[in-house]
Structure formats: C-alpha cells, structure tokens
Structure 1
Amino acid sequence: MKIERIEAIPYAIPYTHPLKFASGEVATADHVLVRVHTDDGLVGQADAPPRPYTYGETQKSIAAVIEDIFSPQITGLDPFDRSKIHAVMNRTINNQVAKGAVDIALWDLLGKALQTPVHKLLGGFTDSMRVSHMLGFRPAAELLEEARSFGERYGITTFKLKVGRRPLALDIEACHVLREGLGDDVDIYLDANRGWTANEALEVLRRTEGLGLSLLEEPCDAKEAMSRRRLVEKSPIPVVGDESVPTAGDVSRELLSGGCNAICIKTARSGFTEAQQILGLCTGLGVDVTMGNQIDTQVGSLATVTFGAAFEATSRRAGELSNFLDMADDLLADPIRIQDGRIRVRTVPGVGADVDEDKLAAYRLDR
C-alpha cells in the first residue's frame, strides 16, 4: 500500500454566534479537510482549523503547504512508515496544524487498513470522555444562563471560562456569578489566552480566592518569563500552558523553566503522534494534562475524543469537546451526541469521522 495523493479541501461553515476571547473571535469555521489517499482505495481524513492570531496559519497556508510541499514528498511512501513521513514534514518548520491534520489522517488510514478503531491502536483506556464547554466573552448573567442550559440539556458539569478582559472586574464578576449560580459541584476553570500580564493574573487569583477555580490557562504571554515564573510559584492552582506549548520541545522548555506546571494537549496542532510524545513527557514528570479544543468541528472533536479516551491521564479531566454545538451545520455524516455529559468513541475502523459528501460539496470553497 502506497500513498497516492493528499487533498486539502478548504470549506466554510458559519457559527450561529461568534466565540469571543482575548486573542480573537471566531464567527466562521473556515477550515481545511485533509484527505490521504492510497493506491488501493483507502482514504484517511482529518480536520485542520486555522488560527492565524495564535499560530500564524491560515486556511490558504494550510492548503498550500500540504498540497505544494508535503504531498509531493510523501506521495509514494508506505503510510505505515510514519516516522519517515514525519521526518519529511519536519524539514518544514512551524505549520503545526497542517502537520497535525496529516498525522491524524494517517492514523485514520491505518485504522481502516487494520480494521481497528484508532482509539484501540492508541491505548483504548476507556470508551468515552466527559465534556467541558467553553464560555466566551459575554455579560455574566448571559454566561450563567448558557452554562445552566448546557447543564440541563447535555448533563455538562465542567466549564472553561474565557477571561483576559480589561477591566479585570468583568472577569472577576463572571467568576463569582458562575460559582454562585452553578454551585460547588460544577468545575470552573479559566483561560486568559495571554490577555493579561502576570501581575494582573495574580490580582485576579487574589480576588477570586475561595471560589474553587481549578485551573488557570495561559494567563499571559510566555515571553513574560520572569513574572510568569513568579505567577506559577505563587498561584494556588495549576497554571496551564497552551498556546506556548504547541510542540514537545516547547512543553519541555516551559515545564523545565517553570513557565507552567500543567499542559493542554490539542490534537489539532500536534496530531496523535506528537500528542503521545507530549503526554509521555507530562506523565513522566507527574504533570497534569487537559484535552483542549481549537474551536473544532465535529470531525475535530471526534479526534480529541479518540485520543483523550485512549489514555488514563488524558481521560481524568473533562475534555473541551462541545463548541461544535454553536455551528450552523457540520460535515460529520453521523453527528456526535452528548449524553449524560459524555461523548463516546467510535467503534468502527479508523477514527470514525465519516463525512457527508453532499454537505462537503455545499460548503467547500474550491469549486
């Protein structure tokens, strides 16, 4: 079996309402569907979500690097020779989302070739993940209403609150309103998307003390190295690296330098292969991990579930898996269902993210 070609299909699906946060706003899923074709007719696929304000990749750059650089070099290789394929892609620096999508598509392809679910090939620890829902920039009362609605409808009991606003009082008020309105049994954690300085983050922690917040993700830019180390030392809760740790090398740097003491793994930017390397570093050092969301479609969310449910460490906490609910439509032929606050893995060969071809034809941008 040989790789015959790689497709990078740009498409766009609007959100019913934008998700706003400190480093940007997403109103449309202008993603790229990546497909790896073999000479015997098998196809592996994955979703690539551009986040230009975070990683510098755009829809056009992802399609270009895959079709113009990766595909000509990878075509003709055996898809089982994954280390050789990664060595080829790693000649090109950065472009983590493009590389991650090719990697997940390869795993999907191998699962189909072996007639085995990828979640079993990775580790098969459990068959589902608890769901965490992200709450974007909105007035505190609206955030509480949204959280209650998702709790009642889907059984979700974990919420990530997007913070990083100025004045700080907006976010501090939201923390207090959510805790008072949701009770102590609901897990609430924060993600500032580099919106504050380290000193501002310390002030927010001081003014939310006693609320039982569980994590503080990417409070400030990692370039603020000295103040960030002081924040990690003084914080009563784990400080999670996210945008600052897209690669295994970045994870090593931030953990060893004291820039964070927990790690967010996102399969959209690391694929399954580098995500395993990152997880190995974290478990070896006794560092907590979370499974993050790159504002994924159902195709991307299913990849997160596939990886997260495969390992004990990644399945301990709820994964960020529900923002596809804010999309006007999706590509997945068999839509994801959230039941009792959980999403189950697919038990079919591969990842199980079969696409509705009619929907893809309707939303693709290259025809």
Structure 2
Amino acid sequence: MKIERIEAIPYSIPYAKPLKFASGQVTEADHVLIRVHTDEGIVGTADTPPRPYTYGETQDSIVSVVTKIFAPAVVGLDPMDRQKIHAILSRTIHNQTAKGGLDIALWDIIGQAANAPVSSLLGGYTDAMDVSHMLGFQPAQKLLDEALRFRSDYGINTFKLKVGRRPLALDIEACHVLREGLGQDTELYLDANRGWTANEAMEVLRQTDGLGLSLLEEPCDAKEAMSRRRLVDKSPIPVVGDESVPTAGDVSRELLSGGCNAISIKTARSGFTEAQQILGLCTGLGVDVVMGNQIDTQIGTVATVTFGAAHEATSRRAGELSNFLDMSDDLLAEPLVIKDGKISVRQVPGVGAAIDEAKLAQYRQDNK
C-alpha cells in the first residue's frame, strides 16, 4: 500500500457560543481537514485546529506546509512506515498540528487496513472516557448556570474553569460560586492560559484554599522560569503544563526543570505517535496526565477519545471532550453522543471519523 495523495481542506463552522479565555477567543472553527489517500482506496482522516496565539499556526500555514512540503516528501511511501514518515516531517520545525493531523490520518489508515479500531491497536484499555467540560470567561452566576445545565443534560461532573482575568477577584469569585453551587462531589480545576504572573497565581491559590480544586494549568508563561518553579514547589495542587509542552522534548524539559508536575496531552498537536512518547515519559516519572482539548470539533474529539481510552493513565481523569457542543454544526457523519457523562470509543475499523460530504461541501473554503 502506498500514499497516493494528501488533501488539506480549509473549512469554517461558526460557534453558536464563543469560548473566551486568557490568550484569546474562538468564534468559529476555521480548521483544516486532512485526508491521506492510498492506492488501495483507504483514506485516513484527521482534523487540524489552527491556534495562532498558542502555536503560531494558521489555516493558511497548515494548508501550505501540508500540500507544499509534507505531501511531496511522503507521497509514494507506505503509510505503515510511520517512523520513516515522521523522520521526514521532523526535518521541518514547529507546525505541530499539521504533523499531528497527518499522524492521526496514518493511524486511521492502519486501523482500517487491519480491520480494527485504532483505540484497540493503541492499547485498548477501556471503551469509554469520562467527560470534562470547559467553562469560558463569563460572570460567575452564568458559569454556574452552564455547569448545572451540562450536569443535568449530559451527566458531566468535571469542569475546567478558564481563568487568568484581571482583577483576580473575578476568577476567585467564580471558583467560590461554582463550588458552592455544584457541591463537593464535582471536580473543578483551573486553566489560566498564561494569563497571570506566577505571583498572581499564588494569590489565587491562597484565596481559593479549601475549595478542593484539583489542578492548575498554565498559570503563567513558562518563560517566567524562576517564579514558576517556586509556584510549582509551593502549590498544594499539581501545576499542569499545556502550551509549554507541545512535544516530548518540551515535556522532558519542563518536568526536569520543575516548570510543571503534570501534563496535558493533546492529540491535535502530537498525533497518536508522539502522544504515546509523552505518555511514556509521564508514566515512567509518575506524573499525572489529562487529555486536553484544542477547542476541538467532533472529529478532533473522536481522536482524543481514541487515544485516551486506549491507556490506563489517560483514563483516570475525565478528558476535555465536550466543547464541540458549542458549535453550530459539525462535519462528522455520525454525531457524537455524551451519555451519563461519558463518550464511547467507536467500535469500527480505524478512528471512526467518517465525514458528512454534504456538510464538507457546505463549509469548505477552497471553492472545490
């Protein structure tokens, strides 16, 4: 089997409810659909989310690097030869989501060729993942109303609160209101998206002590190295690396330097292959992991569930899997279902991201 051609299709779907956070906001899914075609008719599919304020990638840059640099170099190769293909991709620095999307598409081909779900090929630990929902910037009472609705409608009982606002009192109030309104049995954790300084994060931890918060993600820029190490050392809860750890090498640097002591794994930026390397580092060092969300579509969420359910360590915590519910539409032919706070692994060959072709034609932006 050989790779015959690669498509990078830009598309845009509005969000019915934009998500606002410290490093930006998302009002539409202006993503790129990756399709790797083989000479045997098997097609691997993945979604790539541009996040210029996080990784520097844009929709145009992903299309360009995939079609002009990666595709000419890997067309004609066997999609089973992932390490050979990754060696070629690694010659180009950065472009993490473009590389991650290609990797997921290759795994999708492998699963289809083997007539097996990719989650089983990766490890097959469980058949579903608990769901965590991200709450963006809103007044405290609206945050509570949203959380209560998601708990009632979908059975979700883990919430990640986007923080990093100034004045700090806005986020501190939100923490207290959510805890009081949701009770002690609901898991709450914070993500500041580098919005604070390390010292501001320490003050927030002081004023939320006793609320039972479980994690603090990217409280400040990792470049604030000395203060961040002091924060990690003094924090009563794990400090999660996310934007600062897009690659396995970054994970090693931040963990060994004391820049964080837990890791967010996002298949959108690592694919499955590097995500396995990151997970191996974390499990070997006894470091907690959480399956993160790149404000993914349902296609991206399917990939997260595929990887997260495959391994014991990534199944311990609820994965961030529900923000596709804020979109006005999606490309997945068979929509995802959240039942009793869980999303099930798709028991089909490959990843299970079959596309609704009519919707792709409606939302694609390359006029084809």
Which amino acid counterpart does residue 306 of structure 2 have in structure 1?
A: T
Which amino acid counterpart does residue 187 of structure 2 have in structure 1?
A: D
CA displacement at 1:350 relative to structure 2: 0.2
Corresponding position of 2:215: 215
Query: Are 1:142 and 2:135 matched, yes or no?
Result: no
Which amino acid counterpart does residue 226 of structure 1 have in structure 2?
A: M
Corresponding position of 1:53: 53
- Distance in structure 2 (CA, Å) of the matches to 1:276 and 1:250: 14
Corresponding position of 1:192: 192
Corresponding position of 1:281: 281
Question: Deviations for 1:10-52, whole angstroms, at most 9, x for unmatched residues?
Answer: 0000000210000000000000000000011110000000000
Corresponding position of 2:365: 365
- Distance in structure 1 (CA, Å) of the matches to 2:325 and 2:81: 36
Query: Are 1:172 and 2:190 matched, yes or no?
Result: no
Corresponding position of 1:101: 101
| Partner secondary structure for residue 137 of structure 2 | coil
Query: Are 1:12 and 2:12 matched, yes or no?
Result: yes
- Distance in structure 1 (CA, Å) of the matches to 2:250 and 2:184: 35
Corresponding position of 2:90: 90
Corresponding position of 1:248: 248
Corresponding position of 2:181: 181
Corresponding position of 1:2: 2
Alignment of 1:316-327 (within 5 A): 316-327=316-327
| Partner secondary structure for residue 30 of structure 1 | strand
Which amino acid counterpart does residue 314 of structure 2 have in structure 1?
A: T
TM-score using structure 1 length: 1.00
Corresponding position of 2:160: 160
Corresponding position of 2:269: 269
- Distance in structure 2 (CA, Å) of the matches to 1:17 and 1:44: 30
| Partner secondary structure for residue 181 of structure 2 | helix
| Partner secondary structure for residue 13 of structure 1 | strand
CA displacement at 1:250 relative to structure 2: 0.1
Corresponding position of 2:124: 124
Question: Deviations for 1:301-348, whole angstroms, at most 9, x for unmatched residues?
Answer: 000000000000000000000000000000000000000000000000
| Partner secondary structure for residue 161 of structure 2 | strand
- Distance in structure 1 (CA, Å) of the matches to 2:151 and 2:19: 19
Corresponding pairs, count: 367
- Distance in structure 2 (CA, Å) of the matches to 1:84 and 1:313: 28
Query: Are 1:78 and 2:78 matched, yes or no?
Result: yes
Which amino acid counterpart does residue 171 of structure 1 have in structure 2?
A: D
| Partner secondary structure for residue 206 of structure 1 | helix
- Distance in structure 1 (CA, Å) of the matches to 2:66 and 2:88: 12
- Distance in structure 2 (CA, Å) of the matches to 1:339 and 1:67: 39
Deviating 4+ runs (over 6 angstroms)? none
TM-score using structure 2 length: 1.00
Corresponding position of 1:27: 27
| Partner secondary structure for residue 332 of structure 1 | coil
- Distance in structure 1 (CA, Å) of the matches to 2:121 and 2:69: 29
Question: Deviations for 1:269-297, whole angstroms, at most 9, x for unmatched residues?
Answer: 00000000000000000000000000000
- Distance in structure 1 (CA, Å) of the matches to 2:42 and 2:350: 11
| Partner secondary structure for residue 279 of structure 1 | helix
CA displacement at 1:237 relative to structure 2: 0.2
Which amino acid counterpart does residue 77 of structure 1 have in structure 2?
A: L
Which amino acid counterpart does residue 85 of structure 1 have in structure 2?
A: I
